[in-house]
Chains A and B, each alone.
Chain A
Amino acid sequence: MDYLLSGLIQAFELLFKGDPETYSAVKTTVLASSLSVAASMVIGSPLGFCLGYARFPGRRSVRVVVDTLLSLPTVVIGLLCYAFMSHRGPLGHLGLLFTIPGMAVGQTILGLPIVVAMTATAVENLDDRLKQTILTLGADPRQLLLTSLWEARFALALAGAAAYGRIVSEVGISMMVGGNIKWHTRTITTAIALETGKGQFAMGIALGLILLALALMVNVAMSGLKRLSE
């Protein structure tokens, strides 16, 4: 039990004494998760819009597939990405393995279904009269997409936050694709796995608290953004 208290003390020490290893892991975490959340949003929200708006045969099945992908295990994504990015794999020449962009690709696959599913639900729940109004005002499809997404912006932000939460806390993809390389691809979560492996439980708890602090900052910033836009 004393791990908890000494973990808390260590977390403050790491943060305020500026421990370079911790800051490197924080930086890697922020960079990889920002890249992947951004990519998930850019790719996922138009897809989610289509899924929520358009009526086409098989739409319900696509929806089931997307909802199933919500429970894609991170180690499976990690393994698939490794197979593709390995030098013997089809994408080996890109040199993505053991890099932050490589991790971001895997994490985007993790975040994408969340953004698509939540955007689709948000768009489905938009007032039907909105579409008619936009169309009567002479909007082209692109304007229709952007206006609808703008109207659903709070739900989109929520989707981004949910994707961020899943991405920042995952360890399977970062470990498998990133390789937990010190100063390069070691994230907070892979560092926790390593410290636990070394039997340094207090250090693991300390890093966990730092991850929580990071998540808190992101959520405070989000709610600040929301207040500004209201």
Chain B
Amino acid sequence: MARRSLFLGVMILLLWVCAPFSASATDQLMLATTTSTDNTGLMDYLAPQFKKDTRIELKWTAVGTGKALEMGKNCDVDVLLVHAPKAEKKYIDDGYGKDRTQVMYNDFVIIGPKDDPDGIKGLAVNDAMKKLVKGKADFVSRGDDSGTNKKEISLWRAAGLAVPDKEKWYIQTGQGMIATINVATEKKGYTMTDRGTFIKFSDNYGGNPPLIPLVEGDSVLYNQYSIIAVNPARCKNAQYDLAKKFTRWMTSKKIQDLIGNFKLLNKKLFIPNATH
């Protein structure tokens, strides 16, 4: 009896586990995207609609922009959704990708403790960066070659400062955006984040986050997200047609409106700006 029920149990388990293999084959588009679009829940919000509209299944892997570009170079994905314009342009020039299309933007903000120990509130970005170097509080960096990390490094340089590395007050987490903000929270320090992820972070704290935006609104803090198709001339396996469909879909009025309606705490996380 015990043997039989064990056998039965194993068979049921096998059937359940093997079920995915019998699923019918649909077109699948492989996307590499940044942690900000995934951590905020934007991809979860868009993917079902994409399947409904085009019957294409969107599979995405969320990594930093640096790694996403690398995956495209290796022909392991079909399309990229990233936010590091300079690196993207070089990427296109080097022939790894094509059809770079802007889809949406938000902005970067420098956030820190409410009592602002280094006194950067409301300063221009360059002045704020200089104060952060002299101040006592820690600055927490992604340190992972992500789009946000690339932007932060460019801000130190633009302020005429050496990019910090081993300084005691400079902490490089090597982790995703929210994990990095959490480290800054524990250290009562500053960090830089895109606004979408900051709103998500505030939402985790029920709208009353321990860190608040202190420097914002400067034009250098603009954060553009774009789609890049992996170049089919280099990667035979890249599904260029599906990538084009995805781009057209993302830039359509309907989906641009949908992106504009993606809100947490009644705030927009990303602002659509496709040029079509």
Contacts and interface: CB of A to CB of B under 8 A. Distances in A.
Interface of A: 27, 30-31, 34, 86-89, 92, 97-98, 179-184, 194, 196-200, 221, 224-225, 228
Chain B interface secondary structure, helix, strand, loop or mixed? helix
Contacts of B62: 180, 194
A87 B59 contact: no
B133 interface: no
Given A27-B20, A182-B60, A228-B3, A200 B204 contact: yes
B176 A98 contact: no
B59 A98 contact: yes
Given A87-B75, A88-B74, A98-B30, A199 B178 contact: yes
Chain A interface secondary structure, helix, strand, loop or mixed? loop
Contacts of B182: 199
A225 B74 contact: no
Given A27-B16, A181-B60, A228 B2 contact: yes
B25 interface: no
Contacts of B18: 31
Contacts of B73: 88
Bin the interface of chain B by size. Answer: 35 or more
B2 A224 contact: yes
Contact of A87 (B3, B13, B237): B237
Most central of A88, A194, A198 by chain B CB within 10 Å: A198
A17 to B, nearest CB: 18
A197 B201 contact: no
B13 to A, nearest CB: 7
A165 B262 CA distance: 40
Interface of B: 2-3, 6, 9, 13, 16-20, 30, 35, 38-39, 41, 44, 47, 59-62, 73-76, 175-176, 178-179, 181-182, 200-201, 204, 235, 237
A88 B236 CA distance: 11
Given A180-B62, A199-B200, 15 more contacts: A34-B17, A89-B74, A97-B76, A98-B76, A179-B61, A181-B60, A182-B59, A194-B62, A197-B178, A197-B179, A198-B41, A199-B201, A221-B9, A224-B6, A228-B6
B274 to A, nearest CB: 25
A98 B59 CA distance: 10
19 contacts: A27-B17, A30-B13, A31-B18, A86-B76, A87-B75, A92-B75, A98-B61, A179-B61, A183-B59, A194-B38, A194-B62, A197-B178, A198-B204, A199-B178, A199-B204, A200-B204, A221-B6, A224-B2, A228-B2
A31 B17 contact: yes
A183 to B, nearest CB: 8
Contacts of B75: 86-88, 92
B59 A184 contact: yes
Contacts of B235: 87
Contact of B179 (A98, A196, A228): A196
A183 B38 CA distance: 14
Contacts of B30: 98
Contacts of A89: 74
A88 B60 CA distance: 20
A160 to B, nearest CB: 15
Most central of B75, B76, B175, B181 by chain A CB within 10 Å: B76
Contacts of B47: 182
Contacts of A198: 39, 41, 178, 200, 204
A197 B74 contact: no
A92 B71 CA distance: 13
A221 B204 CA distance: 39
B17 A87 contact: no
Nearest to B235: A87
A181 B44 CA distance: 11
Nearest 10 pairs between A and B by C-beta? A179-B61, A87-B75, A197-B176, A199-B178, A86-B74, A199-B204, A88-B74, A31-B17, A181-B59, A198-B39
Most central of A92, A182, A199, A224 by chain B CB within 10 Å: A199
Contact of B17 (A30, A182, A184): A30
Given A27-B20, A98-B76, A225 B6 contact: yes
A88 B75 CA distance: 7
A97 to B, nearest CB: 6
Contacts of A197: 35, 39, 175-176, 178-179
Contacts of B9: 221
